[in-house]
Every structure is written in structure tokens, then in C-alpha cells.
Structure 1
């Protein structure tokens, strides 16, 4: 029987590295962020409601969403973040559910969802894997990757459930504080167990 596996973590914890490795090894990974980008792309189904909620200047002259501007709003205002999530999340869920129903017939399906626990989507998974790092590593990676100040990085991290809580609530944990090779070893061990379930 094939499983639906929730894959989550915190921002800059290394979830994408895990996703990419799983895909390279033939697993289906449905990435909530990719679906989110589809819904918020130029002409995407979420754009009219986002303009209505955040104003005309949230998109540029070409109709592209100003993601940096939107990010600076939602990561500093929980109410605005909830408003955006209420627009985008149902669209993402519909797309993911359709693809999941198709791919589960052929093999295990990983749902790569940063806000898996926050949105209660862990309930529809057979098991959950959390990729984690310590907070200092998270801040260091996020400031380097996204060219953010420490304060901006902390605002983004604080907008999510603490990684320690996600780890506690997960069936499997992948420690990404070390080398990428060590991370790959843990993924290999997990997938071996998965195939023997």
C-alpha cells in the first residue's frame, strides 16, 4: 500500500535539498511552493483576490506580483498573512489533491508543505518527516540565501511554528546541521524503512 508522506521543516532548514534528492531517486514530490507560484503567477487564479486585498500596487505594470513587497507585509503582520493564506491555500490544496490522487496509484507521494502542521494537513498524511536545523544555522542560511538582515530573517522564522515543535510531532526527523552527505545518509535510511513498511 503506497503512503502519503508529509515533508516539512522551517524556512532554510534544507527541505528543498531533501525534496531534490527524493526526486532524483524516483519519488513523486508535490511541492506546495511550486503550486503557490502557479496560483500567484501573472494571470494566476489568486491574483485578482490578492489585488483586492493588498491594493493595485502589489503587482507591477506587467501584472507580475511584487513578491518582495508582499513578503515584507505578510511576515510582519499576522492578520495580513492569514488573509493571503485564505486566498492562496484553497487553490493550492485543490491542485495538489488532484495530482496526489493520480500519483498515489503508482507509488509513494511526498507532500512538500512548509506549513503542514500550521494548516492541519498532517492529518491527511500517513506519516510526517521534518527536516530541522538549529536556530543559528537557520538564521545564517536564510540571511545568506535571501540577502536579508538578521531582523528580517527572524521575522520570517517567527512567522512559522517553532521547528522544535514540528520535530516533536513528526514520525521521522532529518537532522541537517551537518554535511549534505550526512543528510543523504539519513534520507537513504528513511527510504529503506519506507519500502519495508
Structure 2
């Protein structure tokens, strides 16, 4: 099995690269989607979050109240680190389970914005980093999310640096152009 890890910061085009790889027949494992699934009612991660933060992080229906939880963790770095440990460990477990369910002749893509050690770096065979110039990224995110320039810039600045992403990569995809140009790059690396 070939396992490609695709990562990159907000607005870089990481998800577009994964969609292109899916069109080539690769099986996509989306860490963001898994992160949402693991905090659904009845899931282990939600139980761990409630055990640590208390039932006040749940809404009336027993679902995670993300606003309440965000309000707690973004004021306290230690609590944010605990939340990240809970979610990362549970996402890593789900990624490994999904990989184990695939056939040996398949290509899998683990699409993850944060290249965690366990469940990403330790399971992928190659790391593809998608980058783009900061202004290109800001424009993309503003267009799709309605956030202001400063809000997007703050999000970019709070993420891992391009230098870090490049330091863990086997392949760097520069995505400043059109989707067609991106498709050609991805195709070239995929069929090497």
C-alpha cells in the first residue's frame, strides 16, 4: 500500500490536492472530518472531553458546544494542550483503523492540516506539503469564508510555518496558479 500524507496551512490548497488524488483513485482519509466525528455523542473523545472539562461543555441535547469549549481552552494554553491531546490521539486511532481496513494494493491519502507524529508522520510513506504565497492564501480564505483580511492573517500566523512544513516534506507542491497547473503538478508526483 502506498500512503501519502498531504498537509499544509489554511488556504494552501491541501484539500484540492486531495480531491485530485481521489480522482486518480486514491482513498482519502480526511483528518478534519474525523475530528468532527470523534466528538459526536457517544464517541470516546467526547466522553474524555466531558470527563476533563465537565458537562458544561455540552448543549441541552448532549452534544459538544464548541463555542463554550473554545471559550475555555483559548484562555488557557494548558487546557488547549489537553484538548489537543485528546482529539489528536482519537483522530490518530481512527486514521490507523481506516488504513488497516484498506487493501494492500490501494493508495491511501491522509489529509491533515496538522502533521501530528502519531497517526500521520508514523504511518505515511511520503509527506506532500502544499504551499502558496501568503497573499494568495489570504485571498482564497476570504473568498470562501467571509473572514476579513486581518482575521485570515491571524489564522495563518497562528499555524505552523511553511519552513516547518517543508522540513518534514518529501514533496513540496507550490499552488499559486490555476487548478489546471496544480493538477499537472499532482499528476507528475503521483505517477513518478
Fold shared by both chains (TM-score > 0.5) = yes
Name the residue aligned to 1:96: 95
Distance 2:143 2:157 in 1: 18
Name the residue aligned to 1:22: 21
TM-score, length-scaled by structure 1: 0.82
Question: Where in structure 1 are there 5+ consecutive unaligned residues?
Answer: none
Change (3 A) 1:192 1:132: same
Change (3 A) 1:48 1:13: same
Deviation of the 1:181 alpha carbon: 1.0
Deviation of the 1:126 alpha carbon: 1.7
Q: 1:90-134 CA deviation, whole Å, 9 max, x = no partner?
A: 111112112212315132221112111576832432211011111
Change (3 A) 1:118 1:81: farther
Question: Where in structure 2 are there 5+ consecutive unaligned residues?
Answer: none
Change (3 A) 1:156 1:67: farther
Deviation of the 1:22 alpha carbon: 1.3
TM-score, length-scaled by structure 2: 0.84
Deviation of the 1:68 alpha carbon: 4.8
Range that drifts further, 18-27 or 64-73:
64-73
Tell me, yes or no, if the aligned pair for 1:75 and 1:156 is still in contact at 8 Å.
no
Count how many residue pairs are aligned between Structure 1 and Structure 2. Answer: 192
Change (3 A) 1:186 1:137: same
Matched residue SS, 1:40: coil
Distance 1:148 1:97 in 2: 34
Distance 2:89 2:167 in 1: 27
- Over the aligned positions, Cα root-mean-square deviation in angstroms equals 2.6
Name the residue aligned to 1:164: 163
Name the residue aligned to 2:113: 114
Tell me, yes or no, if the aligned pair for 1:75 and 1:155 is still in contact at 8 Å.
no
Stretches of 4+ aligned residues off by more than 6 angstroms:
none
State whether structure 2 residue 5 is matched by structure 1 residue 6: yes
